[in-house]
Amino acid sequence: MAEGATKGDFYVGVDLGGTKILAGVFDPQLNCLGRNKISTKSERGADEVIDRIARCVRDAVDECDLDVKQLRGVGVGAPGAIDVSSGRVIFAPNLQWQNVPLKKMLEKDLDVPVSIENDGNSAMLGVYETELQSKPRHVIGIFIGTGIGGGIIVDGKLYSGYNGTAGEIGHMVIEVGGPKCNCGNQGCFEALASRTAIFRKITAAVKDGQKTLLTDMLGPELNDLRSGDLRKAIRKGDSFVEKVVEEAAEYTGIAVANFINIFNPQTIVLGGGVIDALGDEMMAIIVETAEDYAMSGTSKGIEIVASKTGDDAGIIGAAVLARRAAKEKS
Ligand SMILES: [Zn+2]
């Protein structure tokens, strides 16, 4: 057992994604003691996925030589619209879930208090409480991965809106008549700047005969393309890949400018797999574009920074949720 900790002082944070489930075990100071990852298998239906979440939590805890009975809580960041008070997933297109009582089912399985939240909101909370030490009062978090999630902190509190679904920043329309989005709309931020959008643009161009180093690296079908491959190609001088990534950075900068105009936050923090892999290539363009598009004088002193938490933001944020819920109870 970790030094200074007593029985019942541990938390597990779960990052539930469309393709993988990540669980991290944390001590009371939110140091990560160990983690576990399994595939989601969403095609098998909600019951089976919830079984898998429970198994992923148990195995992560076991790897740390702990027992589930020593947990004070489990937090889950889930994709989609969440009813936080009842712990139901209202709608999660990536999991093909509708109205799933995730909290209730997991509590029954694990016999531990469970808190759930939208994944973008929970990642925002994680970065806010750990990396930013809850210091800035107004913060916007933008997490760019397979999709784009985010969170809004106003006056030190997560802003959840009237129906609790605020912070769906990936579905802010940036280009009218632009590419189709998973949500059914067109021209959403997510459809323009997510990893999925960037990869779609690259594969379509390659099909049309575009030359790129990526085909030398991965073959003509670009099998198993990752964000890190884009970075490698750019650093080897691939101007086509560089241009596609620049365009995504420009769209992100426009999104940031909208947030500056509407919220005038103190800090805008960017994270997720795409920023992790391509931060050096994208951040300067994001900042420059944001300053170009924000109303004159409004961006003065605002920090636009890349998160250092990386892909762990999901599990850390979920652990923060669990710790918050335990503190509210005690
Ligand atoms: Zn959308």
The label of the residue with tokens 């884009």 reads 230
Q: What is the pLDDT of residue 94?
A: 80
Q: How far is the CA of 54 from the centre of ligand 1 (A)?
A: 30
Q: How far is the CA of 168 from the centre of ligand 1 (A)?
A: 9
Cβ neighbours of residue 240 closer than 8 Å, sequence gap 6 or more: 205, 210, 211, 212
Neighbours of 93 (CB within 10 A): 15
Q: What is the pLDDT of residue 131?
A: 95
Q: What is the pLDDT of residue 7?
A: 59
The residues pairing with 83 across neighbouring beta strands, listed in sequence order, are 88
Q: What is the pLDDT of residue 128?
A: 96
Which of the 8 DSSP states describes residue 27?
A: -
Residues of the chain under the 70 pLDDT cut: 1-7
Q: What is the pLDDT of residue 318?
A: 97
Q: What is the pLDDT of residue 1?
A: 45
Q: How far is the CA of 72 from the centre of ligand 1 (A)?
A: 36
Q: What is the pLDDT of residue 307?
A: 96
Neighbour order of strands in the sheet with 88-92: 81-83, 88-92, 97-100
Q: How far is the CA of 93 from the centre of ligand 1 (A)?
A: 11
Neighbour order of strands in the sheet with 303-306: 157-158, 148-154, 139-144, 267-271, 303-306
What's the pLDDT tens digit per position in 34-73? 999 999 999 999 999 999 999 999 999 999 999 999 999 9
Q: How far is the CA of 190 from the centre of ligand 1 (A)?
A: 6
Q: How far is the CA of 140 from the centre of ligand 1 (A)?
A: 19
The whole-angstrom separation of Cα 240 and Cα 210 is 8
Q: What is the pLDDT of residue 330?
A: 76
Q: How far is the CA of 187 from the centre of ligand 1 (A)?
A: 7
The whole-angstrom separation of Cα 56 and Cα 22 is 7
